[in-house]
């Protein structure tokens, strides 16, 4: 993994401005790794020793880019704490959320890029202060070749994420924006702390359109709008709209 801002990198592509950076995995971090990703709790001794001495641990602040469209892919991230967002930007600068990564989940694009020796086709950013273990490309390929549980985990990820991406493509291509927005609000809970711009980015739209739909929801007393906050008043009505025509 490589940041797209050169001043954040040393000569090996590692992050300089991370809150914390370690080039050897401490035992307590290795235990956390095993809890978040159980396949690592049963590693053979040889692979376990290689991982502890060769992998790297870093903590990055909220808002830091971990990779950008076109940047080289050199390491495989294992998220222990925090949240990452992977997005694709259009030539006009509009962004669409592809997926999020939470602790215990893997990054589909990084897997594809390491397997295909390709550059990143999208942007990844920390949504909150995040702690990661980084496996360099050599460790990643060796684990794939020699450790079946890791291989099954990675290829199981492909099935899971590709299904999610196909659902996203279907929603964008064929779904009405008001239905997609209604579904998003219902899934986020009673109070959604988010700006209209962030909602637009997530839905692949523009702020003015999302704001117009939200105001129509408010006029129907389905939601109450505040500053970067949306209170869901009538989730059943939103849910009915989200499933209309299905």
- Which residue ranges make up each domain of the chain? 6-171, 175-242
Q: Is the pTM of this model over 0.85?
A: no
Top CATH class of 6-171 equals mainly beta
Q: What pLDDT, on a 0 to 100 scale, did the predictor assign at position 204?
A: 77
Confidence of residue 243 (pLDDT cuts 50, 70, 90): confident
Dihedral sign from CA coordinates of 100, 106, 108, 113: positive
Q: What is the pLDDT of residues 13-50, one digit of tens each?
A: 344 344 455 667 888 888 999 999 999 999 999 999 88
CA gap 104, 191 in Å, rounded: 26
Q: What pLDDT, on a 0 to 100 scale, did the predictor assign at position 175?
A: 63
Q: Which fold has domain 175-242?
A: Arc Repressor Mutant, subunit A (1.10.10)
Q: Please, which residues bridge with residue 56 across strands?
A: 134
């Amino acid at each position: 993994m490589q940041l797209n801002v050169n001043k954040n990198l040393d000569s090996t592509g590692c992050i300089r401005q991370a809150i914390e950076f370690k080039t050897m995995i401490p035992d307590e971090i290795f235990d956390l790794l095993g809890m978040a990703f159980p396949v690592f709790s049963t590693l053979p001794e040889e692979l376990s020793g290689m991982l502890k001495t060769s992998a790297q641990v870093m903590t990055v602040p909220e808002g830091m880019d971990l990779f950008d469209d076109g940047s080289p892919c050199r390491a495989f991230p294992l998220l222990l704490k925090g949240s990452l967002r992977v997005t694709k930007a259009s030539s006009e600068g509009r962004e669409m959320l592809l997926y999020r990564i939470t602790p215990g989940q893997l990054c589909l694009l990084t897997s594809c890029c390491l397997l295909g020796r390709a550059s990143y086709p999208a942007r990844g950013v920390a949504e909150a202060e995040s702690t990661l273990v980084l496996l360099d490309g050599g460790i990643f390929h060796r684990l794939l070749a020699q450790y079946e549980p890791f291989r099954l985990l990675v290829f199981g990820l492909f099935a899971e994420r590709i299904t999610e991406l196909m659902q996203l493509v279907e929603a964008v291509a064929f779904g009405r924006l008001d239905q997609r927005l209604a579904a998003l609000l219902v899934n986020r809970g009673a109070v959604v702390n988010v700006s209209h711009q962030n909602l637009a980015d997530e839905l692949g739209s523009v702020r003015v359109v999302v704001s117009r739909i939200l105001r129509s929801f408010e006029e129907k007393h389905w939601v109450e709008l505040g500053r970067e906050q949306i209170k869901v008043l009538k989730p059943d009505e939103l849910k009915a709209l989200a499933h209309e025509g299905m």
